Structure 1
């Protein structure tokens, strides 16, 4: 039932039907997201084949890994399944946006961490109206 009425839980029935009819399966990332490319340029507005992602679970663009993001946005011509993405030694592993989840970053002094923060160290001078 969710796929009939909600777009945020993967793809709707209409999107799956359209992509199944017009697209070709290209690959899948480690998060379970599936990627497709149009069979021809009939869906295109700029002469390039259209590309889609069907998310595994909740639809959130930050769940797309860097190599697939580059392919979706035509930065790379070949998908990572054909030409593997070369990860640099300084690059970190991909993480989705955790804002709004229990795993979100909470800085010292945040209300969600108790609201306690260290005392000012003397480099701060409060403004006083004259």
Structure 2
């Protein structure tokens, strides 16, 4: 309960939940569990005639967790949400993954400090100066 009152980075707070229920309409949910909303009217909008759109993240609030099709809808690139008109997937496209930097799943190349710190010797390695 306290988490819902005070922490905005782990989902909607109680105040946000109240505002969403009063002013928004649930449009859909993506495969990561993020929930997308659109305002009932353009009263809160920055542009006349354009309804506000927003996302409530599932867990930690990280913008890279929004898939490309939902990102396009949030930014008004697409009029229809992916629940109605999903983006066609090409055979060469990879599945969307959030940015893993700073997590335990981040890529750590061989020789990096966060990895094992040891790398193979290379021909162009630095030789330190030694005084004669």
Q: CA deviation at 1:127?
A: 9.7
Which string of whole-angstrom CA distances, capped at 9 and with x for unpartnered residues, describes residues 69-125 of structure 1?
110111111000111111122211011111111100111210122111122224x67
The counterpart of 2:70, out of the listed 43, 62, 68, is 68
- Name the structure with the higher helix share: 1
Q: Which residue in the other structure is 1:89 paired with?
A: 91
Q: CA deviation at 1:9?
A: 0.7
Shift in alpha-carbon separation, 1:112–1:127, aligned structure 2, 3 A: closer
Q: Quick one: distance in 2 between partners of 1:127 and 1:73?
A: 53
Q: Which residue in the other structure is 1:16 paired with?
A: 17
SS at match of 1:118: coil
List gaps (5 residues or longer) in structure 2.
none
Q: Which residue in the other structure is 1:35 paired with?
A: 36
List gaps (5 residues or longer) in structure 1.
none
- What is the Cα-based RMSD across aligned positions, in Å? 1.7
For these two proteins, the number of residue pairs brought into alignment is: 127
Q: Which residue in the other structure is 2:58 paired with?
A: 56
Which string of whole-angstrom CA distances, capped at 9 and with x for unpartnered residues, describes residues 32-67 of structure 1?
111100111001112211001111111111111111
SS at match of 1:111: coil
Q: CA deviation at 1:4?
A: 0.4
Q: CA deviation at 1:126?
A: 6.7
Shift in alpha-carbon separation, 1:126–1:41, aligned structure 2, 3 A: farther
Q: CA deviation at 1:19?
A: 1.3
Q: Quick one: distance in 2 between partners of 1:127 and 1:78?
A: 62
